[in-house]
Amino acid sequence: MPAVSAPLPLIAIVGRPNVGKSTLFNRLGRRRRAIVDDQPGLTRDRLVQEVEVAGRRVLLVDTAGLEPLTDRDGEGEDLHDAVQAQARMAVREADAILFVVDGQTGLLPEDASIARELRRTSRPLVVVVNKIDAPKHEPAVAEFHRLGFPIVRPVSAEHGRGAWDAVEELVSALPPDAPARDDDTDPAWREEAGDGSVADAASAAADPIRVALVGRPNVGKSSLANRLLGSERMVVSSVAGTTRDAVDLVIERADGTIVLVDTAGIRRPGRRDRVGERPSALMAVRAIERAEVALVVTDASQGFTEGDVQLAGLVRERGCAAGVLVNKWDLAGDDEDASRRVREAIRDRLRFAPDVPVLLVSARTGLRIPRIFPLIHRLARAARLRIPTHELNRWLQEATAAHEPSMAQRGTRKRPLKFFYATQVAERPPTFVLFCTEPSAVKESYRRYLENRLRERFELDGAPIRLQLRARRSKEH
């Protein structure tokens, strides 16, 4: 990814687990973007939010809780190390640091260990003593001066008390213009914005494509995101449910800008039993609603499961153009007959959306990864397509002439059912109004016929189509 000119300064929110970093991130960002829970360790990937502080735009970075490298959370050393590497990378790449500690639990050895790490950097730093909800709690702040940092401020992230004062003080310590970094060191995630938009709009395409990567836990969504981004940006592990937040990634290409959203794995509601899994699923659904393209990632070794079918139905229902990525296809040997059987099996299970394109890929080997980008653009084109009214009416005349609708029954009499004209009233998803004599008499099979002909004529495969029928009387009746 090319470097961004005049990058916004990064402020990393760091500290040990469960001190309120995500609550502070949400408070300063003025929205509940990070998951907050009493269970420590819910934040894993870095979240970035653009905010204005004292008239200056900065990027806030929420990070996973820093822990001593010898600690393990019971989920596997690979996951623990990957999460910790992401958090420490945020510290290295930050222009300033908000060091959050817990005023209720007091100064702990873990805080002192993190402080020793942070003293190695020369970046501006403010110690934020969180959970000081009232003036009577302020004496608890005194012991945190032992950490050795000159600026220690009491705040209540939950209630907003002192939060903006602390971050304003930190921003005032930044140089007037944060130095730009070289192309090979500038983090790609510097360009993210909290609402999913591109932080530096001037440097991005006028209308980037928002793409949600969705799927069940542990099907390889984050590995695919890394392949598409070209870097190890996301935490990747064999532990199911590694990604919990919906994370926006900006990919700049010659053919346009793509905002890729790597989401938490979604399982069927009755099977969401892990801590944090229900709010993670909700954020994934919100990511789908904000996207115009959704790529449903499935595991080739598990087949297209009922959970995959339900997820594809959810994507369709929310109005996203959809494609299916069968990941880990390298394990199947990439045999032509096997490819055909898998495609047929998926289309058989997706009878409600047989037009959804299927691509067999491997995040591990890179198999067919370059084909994902043309697929995204094709789906985005279908989602955004605006068809001129005269072309729609020509299509309608040809479609009804090739296959006339059944007669409309009125009492004991049957009358011809006539279509007059059509117009497009919306896009994302494409929505059309068709005027005819008896909307209630149009059979579902004929609606599907019209939808299929519409897809064929205007290359709308993958995009949900909304057909609305309205009455208009024929002059001869």
CA distance 65 to 83: 9
The pLDDT assigned to 92 comes to 79
Whether 363 maps to a domain, the answer reads yes
**β strands within 223-286, DSSP E:** 247-253, 256-262
Range with the poorest average pLDDT among 94-98, 239-243, 368-372: 239-243
The Cα 155–Cα 166 span in angstroms is 8
The per-residue pLDDT for 287 is: 75
Q: Is 178:84 a contact under the CB 8 Å cutoff?
A: no
Give residue 281's pLDDT: 53
Is 19 part of a structural domain of the chain?
A: yes
Question: What CATH code is carried by the domain that includes residue 443?
Answer: 3.30.300.20
Same domain, 154 and 235: no
Q: Are residues 230 and 360 in the same domain?
A: yes
Cα–Cα distance measured from residue 29 to residue 47, given in angstroms and rounded to the nearest whole number: 11
Q: What is the pLDDT of residues 396-443, one digit of tens each?
A: 999 999 999 888 776 667 888 899 999 999 988 899 999 999 898 999
Do residue 426 and residue 378 come from a single domain? no
* Domain-located, residue 331: yes
Confidence grade of residue 31 (pLDDT, cut at 50, 70, 90) = low
- Residue 262 banded pLDDT, cuts 50, 70, 90: confident
230 shares a domain with 297: yes
Longest dimension (CA), the chain: 92
Q: Are residues 347 and 223 in the same domain?
A: yes
Q: Nearest Cα to 406, choosing from 430, 441, 354?
A: 441
How many domains is the chain built from? 3
Cβ(372)–Cβ(228) under 8 Å?
Answer: yes
Residue 256 lies in a domain: yes
Nearest Cα to Cα of residue 33 among 45, 49, 18, 54? 49
Category of 313 on φ-ψ map: left (φ > 0), alpha (ψ -120 to 50) or beta: alpha
Q: In whole angstroms, give the CA distance from residue 441 to residue 417.
A: 8
Tokens of 394: 């020509």
Q: What are the φ/ψ torsions at residue 11 (nearest 5 degrees)?
A: -115, 115
In a domain, 190, yes or no: no
pLDDT at 63: 79
CATH number of the domain residue 23 falls in:
3.40.50.300
How high is the pLDDT of residue 475? 54
Same domain (yes/no): 344, 364: yes
Neighbours of 424 (CB within 10 A): 16
Q: Which amino acid is residue 369, in one-letter code?
A: I
Question: H-helix or E-strand containing 420?
Answer: strand 419-426
The SS3 call for residue 51 is: strand
Nearest residue to 186 (alpha-carbon basis) of 239, 247, 250, 142 = 250
Is 188 a domain residue?
Answer: no
Structure tokens at 158: 């939950």
Please indicate, yes or no, whether residues 157 and 47 belong to a single structural domain of this protein.
yes
Give the integer Cα–Cα distance in Å for 80 and 237: 9
Strand runs labelled E in 233-379:
247-253, 256-262, 293-299, 321-327, 358-360
Is position 21 within any domain? yes
- Residue carrying structure tokens 């930190």: 170
Tell which of 120, 151, 172 closes a domain. Answer: 172
Residue-range definition of the domain harbouring residue 453: 389-471
Residues 400 and 372 in one domain: no
State whether residue 289 is helix, strand or coil.
helix
Question: Is residue 191 included in any domain, yes or no?
Answer: no
The answer to whether residues 351 and 396 belong to one domain is no
pLDDT per residue over 172-191, tens digit each?
888 875 444 333 333 433 33
The model scores a pTM over 0.95: no
- Identify the pLDDT of residue 411: 61
Task: Give the whole-angstrom CA distance, residue 243 versus residue 212.
Answer: 13
Domain end point (choices 343, 361, 383): 383
For CA atoms 272, 226, 385, 443, give the dihedral sign: negative
Of 232, 233, 264, which Cα lies nearest the Cα of 246? 264
Q: Give the tokens for residue 390.
A: 């005269």
- pLDDT for the residue 232: 55
Distance CA 227, CA 232 (A): 8
Last residue of a domain, one of 383, 417, 437: 383
In this structure, the answer to whether residues 239 and 156 fall within a common structural domain is no
Q: Of 349, 307, 302, which Cα lies nearest the Cα of 329?
A: 302
Tell me: do 126 and 218 sit in the same domain. Answer: no
In Å, how far from its chain's centre is CA 452? 30
365 and 406 assigned to the same domain: no
Residue 15 pLDDT > 60: yes
What is the C-alpha R_g of the chain?
A: 26
